[in-house]
Amino acid sequence: MNKRYDLVVLGGGPAGEKGAAQAAYFGKRVALVEKDEVLGGAACNTGTLPSKTLRETAVTLSAFRSRELYGLDLSLRRQVTVQDLLLRESAVKATERLEIAANIKRHGIELFRGAASFLGPNAVEVTREGAEPQVLEFGKCLIATGSTPRRPSLFSFEDARIWDSDEVLNLDAMPRRMAVVGGGVIGCEYACVFAALGVQVHLIHDRQDILPFLDRDICAVLQGRMGALGVTFILGDRVTGCDSTPRGVKLRLSEKELRVDAVLVAAGRQGNVQGLKLEAAGIHAGEGGVISVNENFQTDQPHIYAAGDVIGFPALASTSMEQARMAMVHAFDLGYKKSVASVLPLAIYTIPEVAMAGETEKTLLAKGVEYVVGRSFYDRNAEAHIWAIRHETTRCERRR
């Protein structure tokens, strides 16, 4: 027999978990479908938590004269792997997975393991190897399937020295020279991490500005600090060819060639819509697998909602959670909130971190809004000088 639910949620990442919990809290019968063996999505398993764990290790190691504090001497033991540096990653991920599972159980949400595909506008089929398919009928549906790294065909990802952002945490040995292709959030964050670990990093971006959504004054300061950390910028240029050789990877750019030990391709992400059979439900996905939604997070079908990475920018865990909650408030007319906050914070975990909220000078100019600019510089703060002393100590150590 088919099972009937008030809500079926596709995806067990931040948006899926919080959307399901929101509806279940108000007494709705909810099913959550997750195709991976573990809950938490990219935020828990391949992206946010692992990369931030690596970042904290890099910051700690680069701040001390003696790297033997963590039992690692990066200047001598070049065969060190990222796994050596992720001493607490497994424990952090395990704890988070348990918290997510406990939250789902606490709210009485029924969990289905397998891949979901639409049979029509009011039903999905869940399939799993070795098990009979199950059909879940629903009144409402939330698509929260997340995203995966985009993999341009120009790069041979079969080569163990060429990674996407999900693979980089499994690299076998720390490279001496690496190229990061892409000047977005992921590219800039990893460029900082590897530079702080003593790797010679070249960041290649096809525009003149990294992080184009960021305020230009802030971006200029960040770019300066990244340069001081050891990141070399190649801006306004693109990779036209990538050749694997016994001595490394050769990147052909518009005007030069670059030889490195490894390449991280951070060319954006694409929505996980493959296999969902959206057309059966009457839903269209645009370029990059992004599902278009209205201000209430409704898709082409008003009773089917979408939230999180699968609807595009900003694709952050915190905003994804809030989008899903708001979608469920609208779906079931819960009435306790009317919209997602108009100003949401955005944080980038580069070294140093950058955060912003609200409009930038560029967006205000585009809207014709009058504004006043105020600037306060962190380098005039005593704490900034303390940080700078630590940083300069590390740089002196490298030169020796």
Residue 78 has pLDDT above 70, yes or no: no
pTM of the predicted model as reported, rounded to 2 decimal places: 0.85
User: What is the spatial distance between Cα 22 and Cα 20, in angstroms, rounded to a whole number?
Assistant: 5
User: What is the spatial distance between Cα 140 and Cα 193, in angstroms, rounded to a whole number?
Assistant: 42
pLDDT at 63: 60
| Domains of the chain, CATH where assigned | 3-47+86-149+270-338 (3.50.50.60), 151-267+348-399 (3.50.50.60)
In this structure, of 59-73, 215-229, 373-387, the range with the lowest mean pLDDT score is 59-73
CA atoms within 13 A on the CB side of 83: 6
CB of 31 within 8 A of CB of 109?
A: yes
- 184-229 per-position pLDDT tens digit: 999 999 999 999 988 999 999 999 999 998 999 999 999 999 999 9
Number of neighbouring beta carbons within 10 Å of residue 59 = 18
What is the mean predicted confidence (pLDDT) over 88-116? 90
Residue 400 has pLDDT above 50, yes or no: no
